[in-house]
Amino acid sequence: MRPRNSYTRIANKLTNRPLTCYDICLKTPTQFEETDKDSTAIYTDESITALEPHEAIRKRPGMYIGDLDTGQEHLVWEIVGNAIDQHLLRRATQLRVDVDVAGRRFEVEDDGPGLPVGRTRRGRSAVEEIFTTLHCGATWDGHFPHVHVAVGSYGVGAVVVGALSSRTEVEVHQEGSLWRLVLERGLIVEPLRSVGKTSRTGTLVRWTPDDEIFKGKRARPGEIARRLQELAYLNPLLTIRHGGRVLPSRGGLAAWVLALANGAVEADAVVETLRHTDDVSVDLALCLSVGRDTRVTSFVNQSPLTEGTHLDGLWKGLRDGARQLGIKANVGSTREALSPGLVAALNVSLSDPEFAGSARYRLKSPIATGAVQRAVREALSRSFRFNETFKRAFAGRFPA
């Protein structure tokens, strides 16, 4: 069937060619109506404009940070994620995140080794590349573990912070020197230079979101504080400071599920495990609360994810635990029996996870199912062996 107009013909052609960071500038509908009089009309090289990374980001910010209503929070997570990566590599132990009262100025500081300041093959310093190049960041060496603490399919790097902020200041403490870089709306206005001496290491990123992009929208300080508290429990050996105080983290996920259950736990038992198997790390804590609410919180590489193969593994592991006690259970009956009052927190870490959909709403990696299932089964087996009261409470959730 012949395309109805020039717009359709152009759209069809575009879908058959790979898109990179080019932004294709097309004509207006009125212009299309005019050119459609010529049946041979087609876009030409003059119709295509190649944009610099900061220009592309500013032109279509939603493609890089999602909804602008929460976009300023996404900028925080891009920088925080870099710091947590350094912690997972045992290079950082301190993280500070501050937001001013109006939610218009942000600071993230860590005590890691500092962003690299040496020259790259492109002739610029590495830290300048990090803040001006798409998909380039402190994790560009491809190491694992690696996290994207922002929700969704984004994770394009610190370049979005520089591009979408009216001013971004970066300070790097490294090898006795304090380095400083300043950008405005994605453009370097003060190239990286040494501005003094220092006796510590680390990186400080300070930025002001650009009102030209966010149109007066404000970040939600309460949501930032909530997510930072999650990250504190997920990384109990990392000291996270926010709003002038250290966020509680001692005890990790076990302490978190106790807090979620308000301390009302059957048999005073929390089942917990930290296990690495099949190239998947499983960090889990669960308990049976005296209430009836189900509170299952799950993450993949520390990013919240409420569906997927990791949760399939959780329920299969709980089913296996029931079978250890001689209960004839399947996944369905296990969910029905244990859901009321179940409080659990689960984080799986794996390299190259596979997700469903561009929004990454569900984990598809089959390897996660078996890894979580074995971790849960073994953790329950230990608890049954050493806590007879919990064993009876667990079995008592199932019909006689």
- Mean of pLDDT values over 176-193: 97
Which pLDDT belongs to residue 74?
Answer: 93
Does the pLDDT value for residue 26 go beyond 80? no
Residue 383 has pLDDT above 70, yes or no: yes
**Torsions phi, psi of 62, nearest 5?**
-60, -25
How confident is the model at residue 53, as a pLDDT?
A: 87
Sequence letter at residue 306: T
From 5-14, 45-54, 263-272, 324-333, the region with the lowest mean pLDDT: 5-14
Residue 140: the pLDDT is: 44
Q: What is the mean pLDDT of residues 369-373?
A: 96
Furthest C-alpha separation in the chain: 83
Q: What is the mean pLDDT of residues 348-361?
A: 84
pLDDT at 21: 44
Mean pLDDT of 159-186: 97
pLDDT at 150: 56
- Decide if pLDDT at 9 tops 70: no
Residue ranges, comma separated, of all CATH 3.30.230.10 domains in the chain are 252-396
Q: What is the DSSP string of 196-235?
A: EE-SS-EEEEEEEE-HHHHTT----HHHHHHHHHHHHHHS
pLDDT at 142 over 70: no
pLDDT value, residue 400? 81
pLDDT digits (tens, 9 = 90+) for 240-255: 999 999 999 999 999 9
Q: Which tens digit of pLDDT belongs to each residue from 69-86? A: 999 999 999 999 999 999
- Residue 149 CA to residue 165 CA, distance in Å, equals 20
How far apart CA 202 and CA 181 sit, in angstroms, is 14
How is residue 355 written in tokens? Answer: 């997700």
Mean pLDDT confidence for 313-334? 98
Residue indicated by tokens 């573990």 = 145
Q: What is the pLDDT of residue 330?
A: 97
Q: Angle, to 10 degrees, between the axis of helix 388-396 and the axis of helix 309-324?
A: 110
Question: What is the structure's pLDDT at 224?
Answer: 95
Does residue 68 carry a pLDDT above 70? yes
Q: How many CB atoms lie within 10 A of CB 193?
A: 13
DSSP 262-310: TT-BGGG--EEEEEEETTEEEEEEEEEBSS---EEEEEETTEE--SBHH
Of 170, 188, 165, 167, the residue nearest 180 (C-alpha)? 170
* pTM assigned to the model: 0.84
Q: Does domain 252-396 fall into CATH 3.30.230.10?
A: yes
Most confident of 104-108, 277-281, 359-363: 104-108
User: Who wins on pLDDT, 279 or 232?
Assistant: 232
Q: What is the pLDDT of residue 118?
A: 93
Q: Is the peptide bond before 145 cis (omega within 30 degrees of 0)?
A: yes
What does pLDDT average to over the chain?
Answer: 87
**Given this model, what pLDDT does residue 1 score?**
46
pLDDT band at 149 (very low <50, low <70, confident <90, very high): low
CATH 3.30.565.10 domain range(s) in the chain: 59-246
- Is residue 299 scored above 70 in pLDDT? yes
Provide the residue type at 37 as one letter: K
The pLDDT of residue 15 is 46
Residue in the structure block whose two tokens are 């300080």: 221
CATH superfamily of the domain spanning 59-246 = Histidine kinase-like ATPase, C-terminal domain (3.30.565.10)
